[in-house]
Amino acid sequence: MKAFIIDRYGKNEPMRLGEVPEPVLRDDEVLIQVHAAGLNLLDSKLKSGEFKRILPYHMPLVLGHDVAGVVMRVGPRVRQFKVGDEVYSRPPDHRIGTFAEFVAVNENDVAPKPGNITMEGAASLPLVSLTAWQALVERANLQAGQKIFIQAGSGGVGTFAIQLSKQIGATVATTTSSANVELVKSLGADTVIDYKNEDFGKVLRNYDVVLHSQDAGALEKSLHVLKPGGTLISISGPPDPAFATGIGAPWLVRLVVHLLSAGVRRRAKRRSLRYSFLFMRANGQQLREISRLVDAGAIRPVIDRTFAFDSANEALAYVESGHSKGKVVLKVK
């Protein structure tokens, strides 16, 4: 099958289009013919080797963490899906590879595709929707009437997190550029801060939850946005000891992670705040919950651009530019 492959870690080296064997189907997996694949900044970070100590991969490697397509074969122990089903998924770590014509995924990480959106729309959702769900529902336990600050509201995670927060009943503040103010307002943002002209650290106070996705400066200011007892969830780091333990990291990696996050954890504790780092995981049952929201019209995918499969390198470069509004998607079939 055709796939985009990396042979070694490297920031500037492009993926190469080549032929690789179809995935070997395990007993509890479904083989999905890829119709569309979402691109994420995570793909770029993996390609550059940023996570090689935490998530080591064998080369050659096919990248890609989002898929929508059709089930072509099922393993003998699969009970939830049959050949011909339209599905979508975020494959688990170490079984990624959606920049290809086929991908094999454990049935527990797959969900029926929402019926009211295209394959491209479905492929835009898994990673960002699961990130938002696990941050806001699982970690923060966001409640109706609470206030949440979501950084980078026009990005992939931000566009979904705003909509999910409004469905929960929270009041939402976000940052974006002036060009995207109307977009985030249309998704439900109550307070919009143009980050080029305003400092959110001087505007926002007494928030219950912050979803942090930016740099260390924004992380520090976010501590002062929260009220005592509030929760700061970061998807851009630094990772915390709970994360290192959860992935079974070696003792040296656990030590490094402990040191990296010691400062922010100490400052959070001093202000009676809870700091948590989230590296999202695959979860088909949560995707089913998300499908229900999409089918009901409560949440919609936000796609900036769709690229042809052969243009995967151009698509990833566009993601890396940081200018996309919502998601970037490959049309594979």
Q: Mean pLDDT, consecutive 10-residue segments, the chain of 333 residues? A: 97 95 97 98 95 88 98 98 98 96 98 98 98 98 98 97 98 96 98 95 97 96 97 95 89 91 96 96 98 98 98 97 93 95
Residue linked to tokens 């002209």: 197
pTM: 0.96
> Is 32:103 a contact under the CB 8 Å cutoff?
yes
Q: Which of 79, 72, 61 is nearest to 35 (CA)?
A: 72
- What is the C-alpha to C-alpha distance for residues 98 and 37, in angstroms, rounded to an integer? 6
> Is 98:119 a contact under the CB 8 Å cutoff?
no
- What is the C-alpha to C-alpha distance for residues 223 and 201, in angstroms, rounded to an integer? 9
- What is the C-alpha to C-alpha distance for residues 127 and 91, in angstroms, rounded to an integer? 9
- pLDDT of the residue at 249: 86
- pLDDT of the residue at 284: 98
- What is the C-alpha to C-alpha distance for residues 208 and 205, in angstroms, rounded to an integer? 9
**What domains can you pick out in the chain, each with its CATH number?**
2-125+301-331 (3.90.180.10), 127-277 (3.40.50.720)
Omega before residue 238 within 30° of 0, cis: yes
- pLDDT of the residue at 53: 82
- What is the C-alpha to C-alpha distance for residues 165 and 184, in angstroms, rounded to an integer? 13
Sign, CA dihedral 122-123-129-130, equals positive
In whole angstroms, how large is the CA radius of gyration of the chain? 19
